[in-house]
Amino acid sequence: MKTNDLILQTVSKVILFLIVLFSLYMFFAGHYHPGGGFVGGLMTSGAIVLMLLAYDIKTVTTILPVDYKKMIAVGLLFAAGTAAGGLLFGVPFLTHAFTYVDLPLLGKTSLHTAVLFDTGVYLVVIGVTMTIIQTIGESE
């Protein structure tokens, strides 16, 4: 019998945006509030997993044509690059820089290279989670 997932698919479409927004919020809040790259990445991959549940692997790879193994490598490059970047400025490994910038809409904003490191963590977490889930899902 062919099942019809109309309700699940429609609800997922709406919920998906909320989850991704919340995960991005968690990611950017990490410096001052609970959150950060790890939980943000997990939640974003949670959103992708919801897509996988509502649709199938083929559809999801068409929507998001991402090689998650490469994503892990890109994330690691972000983290290692941010950490090693300090060496170029004559300070020890992993030393971060910090500044306040006046942006047009957002006003006085703090910019910290730790965000770049966190971006690396975010990408690695998504990459690892999705690699695990997709590999298990695809294997017979």
Closest by CA to 122, choosing from 51, 42, 48, 66, is 42
Long-range contacts of 107-110 (CB under 8 A, 24+ apart): 110/31
**Strand pairing of 98-103 and 107-112?**
antiparallel
Q: What pairs with residue 110 in β-bridges? A: 100
Find the binder of another protein among 15, 21, 57, 87 (CB under 8 A). Answer: 87
Q: By CB under 8 A, which span of 32-40, 46-54, 93-101, 104-112 interacts with another protein?
A: 93-101
Contact status: 115 vs another protein (CB under 8 A): no
CA dist., res. 60 & res. 66, Å (int): 10
Q: By CB under 8 A, which span of 2-10, 58-66, 80-88, 105-113 interacts with another protein?
A: 80-88
Q: By CB under 8 A, which span of 16-24, 31-39, 88-96, 100-108 interacts with another protein?
A: 88-96
Contact status: 77 vs another protein (CB under 8 A): yes
CA dist., res. 132 & res. 126, Å (int): 10
Contact status: 31 vs another protein (CB under 8 A): no
Contact residues: another protein, CB under 8 A: 69-70, 72-73, 76-77, 80, 84, 87, 90-96
